[in-house]
């Protein structure tokens, strides 16, 4: 095939951590990228709110726009790289680019999770690509793996640590015995956290990413609202310690699982056996396990955030699209991994229909008969207790913590039982409930 041109012109919108990383990486590895691809990629224009802001990349020789829509209108570019984040303006930028038949690369998980169905159709109508590898798990090429490398498989389940900030916080709390607040500040200083860190600790960021992963794994339209979300705000150091004692690590997981009655889509803290690889993914690192019929379980691990790490995925998308432009190819992987007409709504299970084992921490009055009162309620809801742990040394007042591990039970029964148990006079405060995931089948 003959080349049509050998230079690709890029416009970058957003010059924060990732935008700077992309400018720097294209510059730093220019020769290597050319040797691998056979063509050159040149950033010709950039857009950000403030031209004079001190930043980590040099854009003094590039045409600068305050208004990205104006840049798209006026500049002759092949690919627009949207790295400003947020939803509203980012969506306008992407739609305007597609309208002008300009391909798009983005790292914007909220944009894809919330507007990807619409963007996918418009991209297809305009015969343009929208690539978004950096939107999930930073440097880890999980979108490419699921859409391309595992495309001969039926995917049964995916489970991942896909928010580096929560993983960093849980890891550091246990390691340094620091408070949740202190560790969150460190994560923000390191540039891992979202502009609104509530998106990280509350599970929204992971849910955006799971929305994307579940769509490309199971062939369902993007549906953020179907995801059950819990953050890590209620996890205390004491739970991390108890979990460790029981042979588990507590991780904030995003899980998509297809079973006989529907698909589970959930983001919440979990106890995972310490022997699982995911249980040993620490700090800001991300990891995703994909379990599929032919390949079996496969694991993908790496940096989930960071300037050059995320830029690695963005630039890879730029190179993929550039190759298509250069070689005038129409062969695209569908945006959501399935032909648009083959994306089908499926039954998404309510969290109360999900089955799991549970770790429960209950604060109770320390007197005979208390456990009997509690276990009677569990018995009435067909909940069987696997083990009980009571640590006298942790008594801080007249209440003592009891830790119970249940056998597998449907969530509805646990939910109902805990309402009744919390009403008992001998029980103080809210019961801590964390699901246990074996991740073995």
Please, which residue, 204 or 421, has the CB nearer to ligand HSE? 204
Active site residue 391: no
Q: Nearest distance from residue 416's CB to ligand HSE, in Å? A: 35
Judged by CB under 6 A, does residue 316 bind ligand HSE? no
Q: Nearest distance from residue 55's CB to ligand HSE, in Å? A: 19
Please, which residue, 14 or 164, has the CB nearer to ligand HSE? 164
φ, ψ for residue 364 (rounded to 5)? -130, 160
Please, which residue, 305 or 409, has the CB nearer to ligand HSE? 305
Please, which residue, 305 or 403, has the CB nearer to ligand HSE? 305
Q: Which of 39, 132, 192, 218 binds ligand HSE (CB under 6 A)?
A: 192
Q: At how many degrees (to 10) do helices 370-380 and 411-422 cross? A: 140
CB 242 within 8 A of CB 407: no
Quote the longest CA-to-CA distance of the chain: 84
Judged by CB under 6 A, does residue 313 bind ligand HSE? no
Judged by CB under 6 A, does residue 305 bind ligand HSE? yes
**How many chain residues are in contact with ligand HSE, going by CB under 6 A?**
11
Q: Which of 19, 11, 26 is nearest to 77 (CA)?
A: 11
Please, which residue, 117 or 188, has the CB nearer to ligand HSE? 188
Where residue 283 falls (left for φ over 0; alpha for ψ -120 to 50; beta otherwise) is left
Distance CA 337, CA 218 (A): 9
Judged by CB under 6 A, does residue 304 bind ligand HSE? yes
Judged by CB under 6 A, does residue 132 bind ligand HSE? no
Distance CA 129, CA 29 (A): 24
Q: Which of 164, 162, 209, 231 is nearest to 191 (CA)?
A: 164
Helix (H) or strand (E) holding 159: strand 155-161
Judged by CB under 6 A, does residue 164 bind ligand HSE? yes
Please, which residue, 138 or 141, has the CB nearer to ligand HSE? 138
Please, which residue, 107 or 321, has the CB nearer to ligand HSE? 107
Over the window 138 to 157, marking each residue x when it contacts ligand HSE by CB under 6 A and - when it does not, the resulting string is: x-------------------
- Structure tokens, 243: 């979990």
CB 210 within 8 A of CB 254: yes
Judged by CB under 6 A, does residue 194 bind ligand HSE? yes
Judged by CB under 6 A, does residue 269 bind ligand HSE? no
Judged by CB under 6 A, does residue 82 bind ligand HSE? no
Q: Nearest distance from residue 319's CB to ligand HSE, in Å? A: 21
Judged by CB under 6 A, does residue 78 bind ligand HSE? no
Judged by CB under 6 A, does residue 165 bind ligand HSE? yes
Judged by CB under 6 A, does residue 116 bind ligand HSE? no
Give the ranges where 177-294 is alpha helix by DSSP (H): 180-189, 198-201, 204-218, 237-245
Q: Is the dihedral of CA 358, 362, 366, 372 positive or negative?
A: negative
Selected range binding ligand HSE among 61-69, 79-87, 190-198, 292-300, rule: CB under 6 A: 190-198
Selected range binding ligand HSE among 62-70, 189-197, 332-340, 392-400, rule: CB under 6 A: 189-197
Judged by CB under 6 A, does residue 163 bind ligand HSE? yes
Distance CA 439, CA 441 (A): 6
Judged by CB under 6 A, does residue 129 bind ligand HSE? no
Distance CA 367, CA 359 (A): 22
Partner residues linked to 385 by β-bridges: 406
CB 321 within 8 A of CB 130: no
What are the DSSP calls for 406-425, one per residue? E-SEEHHHHHHHHHHHHTST
Residue whose tokens read 């705000």: 233
Q: Which of 209, 251, 258, 433 is catalytic?
A: 209
Residues within the interface to ligand HSE (CB under 6 A):
138, 163-165, 192-194, 200, 205, 304-305
The catalytic residue positions are: 209
């Amino acid at each position: 095939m003959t080349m049509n041109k050998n230079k690709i012109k890029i416009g970058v919108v957003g010059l924060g951590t990732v935008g700077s990383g992309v400018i720097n990486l294209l510059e730093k590895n220019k020769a290597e990228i050319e040797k691998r691809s056979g063509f050159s990629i040149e950033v010709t224009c950039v857009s950000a709110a403030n031209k004079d802001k001190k930043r980590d990349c040099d854009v003094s020789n590039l045409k600068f726009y305050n208004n990205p829509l104006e840049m798209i209108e006026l500049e002759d570019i092949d690919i627009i790289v949207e790295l400003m984040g947020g939803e509203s303006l980012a969506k306008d930028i992407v739609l305007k680019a597609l309208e002008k038949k300009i391909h798009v690369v983005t790292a914007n998980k909220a944009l894809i999770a919330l507007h990807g169905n619409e963007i996918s159709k418009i991209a297809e109508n305009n015969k343009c690509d929208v690539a978004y590898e950096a939107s999930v798990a930073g440097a880890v090429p999980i979108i490419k793996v699921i859409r391309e490398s595992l495309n001969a498989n039926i995917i049964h389940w995916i489970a991942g640590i896909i928010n580096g900030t929560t993983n960093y916080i849980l890891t550091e709390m246990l390691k340094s015995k620091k408070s949740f607040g202190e560790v969150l500040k460190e994560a923000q200083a390191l540039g891992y956290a979202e502009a609104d860190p509530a998106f990280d600790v509350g599970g929204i960021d992971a849910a955006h990413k799971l929305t994307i992963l579940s769509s490309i794994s199971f062939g369902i339209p993007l549906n953020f609202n179907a995801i059950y979300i819990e953050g890590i705000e209620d996890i205390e150091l004491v739970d991390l310690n108890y979990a460790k004692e029981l042979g588990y690590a507590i991780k904030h997981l995003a899980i998509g699982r297809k079973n006989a009655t529907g698909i589970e889509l959930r983001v919440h803290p979990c106890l995972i056996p310490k022997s699982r690889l995911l249980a040993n993914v620490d700090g800001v690192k991300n990891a995703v396990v994909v379990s599929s019929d032919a390949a079996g379980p496969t694991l993908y691990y790496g940096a989930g955030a960071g300037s050059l790490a995320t830029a690695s995925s963005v630039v890879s998308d730029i190179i993929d699209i550039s190759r298509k432009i250069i070689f005038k190819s129409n062969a695209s992987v569908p945006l959501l991994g399935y032909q648009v007409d083959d994306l089908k709504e499926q039954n998404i299970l309510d969290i109360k229909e999900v089955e799991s084992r549970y770790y429960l921490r209950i604060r109770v009055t320390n007197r005979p008969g208390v456990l009997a009162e509690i276990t009677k309620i569990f018995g009435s809801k067909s909940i069987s207790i696997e083990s009980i742990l009571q640590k006298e040394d942790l008594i801080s007042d007249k209440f003592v913590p009891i830790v119970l591990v249940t056998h597998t039970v449907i969530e509805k029964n646990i939910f109902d039982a805990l309402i009744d148990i919390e009403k008992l006079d001998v029980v103080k405060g809210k019961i801590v409930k964390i699901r246990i995931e074996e991740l073995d089948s």
